[in-house]
């Protein structure tokens, strides 16, 4: 118990230093300039109807996106947790890849696929002999929602899936023996047991969509804006820091209340149980129904996730005059005298380095936080639970500016240090890790550890021998998303870029900021490298974790 | 497959991004800039060897974000020199009082239209003109005469052909809005934009999305007219896969049909290396760097003594008479203009 609390201290210290303190500093600086309260900057918040509309749109699009993602991803979670099939590991890695895709690149592949000259429109026009493309789907609410599903599908599938495969099949078998229909078993047994994982996944998706920035800007188009977009606009374009701070606080408050409510409602509702982890849950598909379910899921994933990725790969190999390798040759030819030219190998090494560092830091913090929360219960736990999730719901500009004014003295002058990139990525990633691990930890019956302790096991041994094997799968999912968050992140990485430190997303943006076929082609080639290396890294990570689990048994 | 065994290698990989190249002797000058900044390595090395100093470059997000950071860091500056304040942010930067005056001797030959700060706290380095670009092949194939002037694009012949950037979220978007304000006046620009809306204009939130998402010459989009830079056609030639004889796109300048974005450099108050900082400013204004700027950042050198590279001479145009809006007016009316634009075009 005390060890657990001791391990939680670094988490608190990390949060206070790199989150609470800078954020408070920028809010005070903005709202109380020179110590005086000056409401002129934020007066419009109460007088203009614009902000109420903004808040309303931000909320309902996030709710709708979350509902849609759950709707399409839960069947997938079932199939992936239940059945074993060909190249399952590869499918899992592939469907996580969209998570790292920079928004402009995702937008480019969407419009390559759905735009006026894209294959789908061309096909429909040829079939029905139409003059004009029937889909004008390169912007708008439908594309915005589609993109949110595209980005968050794997999150729900993997978080819920990993939890699902840990449910004891004997409960289902017992119910079936007693005469329950499959539908009854699902509604009365499986769903209630799954609820903690579904709630955790839904919460993450909601926060993500609520604070959505690039997706709304590019794919929503100019008619749509979220609070996050407005915070950026107020801070940078209008230099109205008080308004930016007020909106930022509003965003935090709403998310905090929601998270607290979720934690409160979920508290004490969870059933403790455990399964024999030696049995990995999934079985080869038997019967036509199972096979049809697998085929349908894989087809859906191919249409939603793989097709845009394939369109991207195709764009990197396709010039105006036919297939070409010129873009890859251009990337690797190097030789540029430009100071900020970054060789692909350097960008890849930088990205992998930041991502691995982030994964390690986020795993340590997330695990410590989850263990602390799992041991507590009731009101205090709900507060902490919501508090620890806040970094995810925080406006990036606000926090970034907080660093500038708060962390400006040695030994903590981190303003243009590269450690800031890892710290920022870890702040985003560790609530993820915590959310992934917490449901798995909470379902371990306390009696298990108590029994081991009675038999003389030290707390360390109990953790290593009992807890760790039971939450191995959840830790892996957390690690994968921590890694992916860092690989794809652009904002914090571009906040401090030095000539030799550009990551892959930074390099992609650099190419896309100049006109010319080679720039576009090389951006697509660089994006394809990002996809390939992320996919490979995820496969290695999954394999390594899998091996570890096996040797323990 | 075994779990990664070589922990030292992994650790090395982890630490790689944090390692800094071995620092040379002598003082270090930190230069803060934005995403689009670039310069040739050999020039940097030459400066370093001449002044026995190390140059340290830090990019801090886009132009607006970098400036706000510099302002917030006023008490403890992040750098010695800041490059990349443009004339739309000039007033904000000067009001924040973060720059030291430096009347560089090199400024004497610079055109007066570029020297916007009489106290020389911010010195012009480069400029670029935001204007319409057209897809030449598209207009040729359709047999339609391309627009020759900004005012043309509200004509029925060009219905549904234009994509612009949202001025509320994009810096070329804002520059283009300013061009229309300079051209049609504060009383006339909104009716131009209403005409454009009725002519089915498409609004993208950023340049990347407009150019690479909707412009026919660079994407699978359906808009042959885009808001971009007067230098874009030259860049399109320079970065073509196969050598081109003619630019695939053309800039539409016209009389007061563009807005000139001027980029400035300044020495940050609180620098510990004022001498070196002044030397660096001179270095940026002098001919070698000025001749390097066009192919690194695709803008025009402010120094009239710098000659342009071949590709720029042949394929880029410098509009003779850009539309003018004073920096003070921009800072003062920005929000009001943006809101009026949003009401007229998006609602």
Question: Quick one: three-class SS letters along A443-509?
Answer: CCCHHHHHHHHHCCCCHHHHHHHHHHHHHHHHHHHHHHHHHHHHHHCCHHHHHCECCCCCCHHHHHH
Res. A267: pLDDT tops 80? no
Minimal CA–CA distance to A542: which of B8, B4, B12, B11?
A: B4
Residue B208: inside a domain: yes
Residue B13: inside a domain: no
pLDDT of residue B249: 95
Query: CA quadruple A492, A424, A156, A231: dihedral positive or negative?
Result: negative
pLDDT of residue B265: 98
CA atoms within 13 A on the CB side of A434: 30
Residue B114: count of CB within 10 angstroms of its CB? 20
Higher pLDDT, A235 or A165: A235
pLDDT of residue B333: 94
Do B273 and B189 sit in the same domain of this protein? no
Res. B266: pLDDT tops 50? yes
Distance CA(A503)–CA(A496), nearest Å, equals: 11
- The share of chain A scoring above pLDDT 90, in percent, equals 29
A516 → closest Cβ in B1, B92, B235: B235
Pairing of strands B123-135, B300-301: antiparallel
Do B35 and B148 sit in the same domain of this protein? no
DSSP string, A300-333: HHIIIIIHHHHHHHHHHHEETTEE--HHHHHHHH
Average pLDDT, chain B: 90
Distance CA(A370)–CA(A175), nearest Å, equals: 32
Nearest CA-CA distance, residue B81 and chain A, Å: 14
A538 CB neighbours in chain B (<8 A) are: none
Do B163 and B219 sit in the same domain of this protein? yes
- The share of chain B scoring above pLDDT 70, in percent, equals 93
Orientation of helix A396-406 relative to helix B63-72, angle to 10°:
30
Do B176 and B98 sit in the same domain of this protein? no
Do B56 and B202 sit in the same domain of this protein? no
Nearest CA-CA distance, residue B165 and chain A, Å: 9
pLDDT of residue A552: 42
Residue B5: inside a domain: no
Task: Give Rg (Cα) of chain A.
Answer: 24
Distance CA(A416)–CA(A398), nearest Å, equals: 16
Q: Does B183 touch chain A (CB under 8 A)?
A: no
- Angle subtended at Cα A482 by Cα A477 and Cα A486, rounded to the nearest 5 degrees: 145
Contact predicate A258/A381, CB 8 Å: no
Residue B217: inside a domain: yes
Contact predicate B178/B137, CB 8 Å: no
Residue B11: count of CB within 10 angstroms of its CB? 11
B159 CB neighbours in chain A (<8 A) are: none
Do B123 and B135 sit in the same domain of this protein? no
The answer to whether A353 contacts B166, with C-beta atoms less than 8 Å apart, is no
Q: Among the listed ranges A302-316, A367-381, A479-493, which one has the minimum average pLDDT value?
A: A367-381
Residues 6+ positions from A455 with CB-CB distance below 8 Å: none
Do B329 and B201 sit in the same domain of this protein? yes
Do B43 and B116 sit in the same domain of this protein? yes
Largest CA distance in chain A: 79
The answer to whether A495 contacts B208, with C-beta atoms less than 8 Å apart, is no
* Exposed e or buried b per residue across B299-317, where buried means at least 16 C-beta atoms within 10 angstroms of its C-beta: bbbbbeebebeebbeebbb
pLDDT of residue B56: 93
Residue B8: inside a domain: no
Q: Among the listed ranges A268-277, A314-323, A367-376, B55-64, which one has the minimum average pLDDT value?
A: A268-277
Beta bridge partners of A406: none
Domain around B275: 24-127+261-315
Q: Which of residues 492-521 of A touch B (CB under 8 A)?
A: 494-501, 509-510, 512-521
Q: Strand, helix or coil at A428?
A: helix
Residue B280: inside a domain: yes
Q: What is the mean pLDDT of residues B89-106?
A: 95
Q: What is the mean pLDDT of residues A242-262?
A: 92
pLDDT of residue A462: 84
The answer to whether A339 contacts B57, with C-beta atoms less than 8 Å apart, is yes
The domain tally of chain B equals 2
pLDDT of residue A551: 45
Q: Among the listed ranges A72-76, A469-473, B169-173, B273-277, which one has the minimum average pLDDT value?
A: A469-473
Higher pLDDT, B155 or B14: B155
The answer to whether B58 contacts A496, with C-beta atoms less than 8 Å apart, is yes
Do B191 and B215 sit in the same domain of this protein? yes
Instruction: Work out the pLDDT band at A379, boundaries 50, 70, 90.
Output: low
Instruction: Work out the pLDDT band at A254, boundaries 50, 70, 90.
Output: very high
Task: Indicate which of B23, B239, B292, B296 best probes the interface with A, i.e. most A CBs within 10 Å of its own CB.
Answer: B239
Q: Strand, helix or coil at A352?
A: helix
Distance CA(B249)–CA(B234), nearest Å, equals: 9
Task: Go through the domains of chain A in sequence order and give each one's CATH number.
Answer: 2-552 (1.10.3720.10)
Distance CA(A480)–CA(A475), nearest Å, equals: 9
A235 CB neighbours in chain B (<8 A) are: 68
Res. A318: pLDDT tops 90? no
Contact predicate A80/A92, CB 8 Å: yes
Q: What is the pLDDT of residues A118-139, one digit of tens each?
A: 677 777 777 777 766 666 556 6
- CATH number of the domain enclosing B280: 3.40.190.10
Do B66 and B121 sit in the same domain of this protein? yes
What the block records as the tokens of A388 is 């620890």
Q: What is the mean pLDDT of residues B319-346?
A: 91
Q: What is the pLDDT of residues B199-211, one digit of tens each?
A: 999 999 889 989 9
Do B40 and B140 sit in the same domain of this protein? no
The answer to whether A416 contacts B346, with C-beta atoms less than 8 Å apart, is no
Question: Can you tell me the ipTM of this complex?
Answer: 0.87
Do B193 and B219 sit in the same domain of this protein? yes
Q: What is the mean pLDDT of residues A250-261?
A: 92
Instruction: Work out the pLDDT band at B133, boundaries 50, 70, 90.
Output: very high
Q: Does A407 touch chain B (CB under 8 A)?
A: no
């Amino acid at each position: 118990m005390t060890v657990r609390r001791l391990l939680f201290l670094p988490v608190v210290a990390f949060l206070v230093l790199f989150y609470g303190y800078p954020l408070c500093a920028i809010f005070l600086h903005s709202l109380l300039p020179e110590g005086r309260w000056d409401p002129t900057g934020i007066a419009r918040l109460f007088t203009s109807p614009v902000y109420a509309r903004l808040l309303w749109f931000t909320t309902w699009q996030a709710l709708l996106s979350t509902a849609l993602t759950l709707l399409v991803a839960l069947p997938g979670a079932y199939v992936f947790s239940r059945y074993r099939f060909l190249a399952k590991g590869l499918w899992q890695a592939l469907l996580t890849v969209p998570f790292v895709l920079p928004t402009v690149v995702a937008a480019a592949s969407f419009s390559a696929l759905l735009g006026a000259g894209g294959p789908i429109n061309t096909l429909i026009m040829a079939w029905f002999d139409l003059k004009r493309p029937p889909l004008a789907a390169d912007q708008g609410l439908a594309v915005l929602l589609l993109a949110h599903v595209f980005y968050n599908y794997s999150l729900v599938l993997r978080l819920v899936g990993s939890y699902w495969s840990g449910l004891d099949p004997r409960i289902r078998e017992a119910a079936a023996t007693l005469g329950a229909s499959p539908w009854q078993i699902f509604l009365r047994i499986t769903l209630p047991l799954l609820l903690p994982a579904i709630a955790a996944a839904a919460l993450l998706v909601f926060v993500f969509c609520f604070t959505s920035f690039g997706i709304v800007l590019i794919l929503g188009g100019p008619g749509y804006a979220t609070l996050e977009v407005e915070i950026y606009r107020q801070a940078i374009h209008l230099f109205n820091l008080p308004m930016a701070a007020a909106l930022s606080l509003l965003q935090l408050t709403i998310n905090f209340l929601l998270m607290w409510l979720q934690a409160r409602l979920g508290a004490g509702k969870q059933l403790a149980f455990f399964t024999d982890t030696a049995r990995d849950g999934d079985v080869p598909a038997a019967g036509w129904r199972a096979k049809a379910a697998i085929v349908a899921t894989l087809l859906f994933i191919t249409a939603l996730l793989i097709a845009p990725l394939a369109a991207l790969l195709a764009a990197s190999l396709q010039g105006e005059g036919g297939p070409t390798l010129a873009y890859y040759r251009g990337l690797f030819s190097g030789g540029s005298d430009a100071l900020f030219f970054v060789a692909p190998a350097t960008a890849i090494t930088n990205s992998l380095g930041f991502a691995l560092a982030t994964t390690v830091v986020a795993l340590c913090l997330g695990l410590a936080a989850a263990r602390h929360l799992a041991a507590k219960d009731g009101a205090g736990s709900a507060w902490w639970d919501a508090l620890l999730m806040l970094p995810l719901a925080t406006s990036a500009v606000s926090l970034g500016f907080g660093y500038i004014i708060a962390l400006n003295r040695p030994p903590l002058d981190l303003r243009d240090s590269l450690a800031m990139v890892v710290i920022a990525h870890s702040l985003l990633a560790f609530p993820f890790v915590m959310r992934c691990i917490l449901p798995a930890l909470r379902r371990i019956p306390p009696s298990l550890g108590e029994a081991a302790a009675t038999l003389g096991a030290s707390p360390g041994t109990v953790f290593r021998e009992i807890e760790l094997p039971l939450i191995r799968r959840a830790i892996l999912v957390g690690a994968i998303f921590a890694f992916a968050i860092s690989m794809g992140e652009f904002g914090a990485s571009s906040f401090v870029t030095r000539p030799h430190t550009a990551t892959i997303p930074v390099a992609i943006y650099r190419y896309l900021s100049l006109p010319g076929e080679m720039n576009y082609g090389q951006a697509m080639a660089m994006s394809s490298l990002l996809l390939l290396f992320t996919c490979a890294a995820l496969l290695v990570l999954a394999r390594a974790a899998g091996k570890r689990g096996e040797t323990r048994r | 497959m075994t779990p990664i065994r070589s922990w030292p290698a992994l650790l090395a990989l982890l630490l790689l991004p944090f390692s800094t190249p071995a620092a040379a002797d002598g003082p270090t000058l930190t230069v803060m800039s934005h995403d689009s900044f670039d310069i040739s390595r050999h020039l940097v090395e030459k400066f370093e060897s001449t002044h026995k100093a190390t140059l340290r470059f830090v990019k801090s997000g886009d132009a607006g974000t970098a400036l706000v950071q510099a302002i917030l860091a006023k008490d403890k500056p992040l750098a010695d020199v800041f490059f990349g304040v443009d004339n739309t942010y000039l007033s904000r930067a000067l009001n924040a009082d973060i720059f030291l005056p430096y009347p560089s001797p090199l400024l004497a030959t610079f055109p007066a239209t570029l020297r916007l700060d009489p106290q020389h706290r911010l010195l012009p380095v480069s400029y670029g003109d935001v204007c319409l670009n057209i897809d030449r092949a598209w207009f040729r194939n359709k047999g339609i005469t391309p627009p020759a002037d900004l005012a043309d694009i509200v004509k029925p012949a060009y219905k549904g052909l234009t994509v612009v950037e949202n001025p509320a979220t994009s810096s070329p978007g804002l520059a283009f809005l300013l061009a229309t304000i300079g051209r049609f006046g504060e009383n006339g620009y909104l009716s131009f934009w209403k005409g454009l809306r009725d002519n089915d204009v498409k609004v993208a939130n950023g340049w990347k999305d407009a150019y690479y998402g909707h412009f026919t010459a660079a994407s699978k989009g359906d808009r042959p007219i885009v808001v971009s830079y007067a230098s874009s056609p030259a860049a399109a030639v320079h970065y073509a896969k196969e050598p081109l004889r003619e630019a695939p796109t053309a800039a539409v300048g016209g009389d007061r049909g563009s807005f000139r974005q001027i980029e400035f450099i300044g020495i940050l108050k609180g620098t510990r290396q004022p001498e070196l900082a002044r030397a660096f400013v001179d270095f940026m204004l002098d001919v070698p760097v000025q001749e390097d700027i066009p192919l690194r950042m695709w803008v025009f050198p402010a120094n009239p003594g710098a000659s342009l590279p071949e590709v720029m001479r042949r394929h880029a145009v410098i509009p003779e008479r850009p539309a003018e809006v004073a920096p003070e007016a921009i800072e003062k009316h920005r929000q009001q203009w943006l809101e009026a634009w949003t009401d007229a075009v998006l609602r």
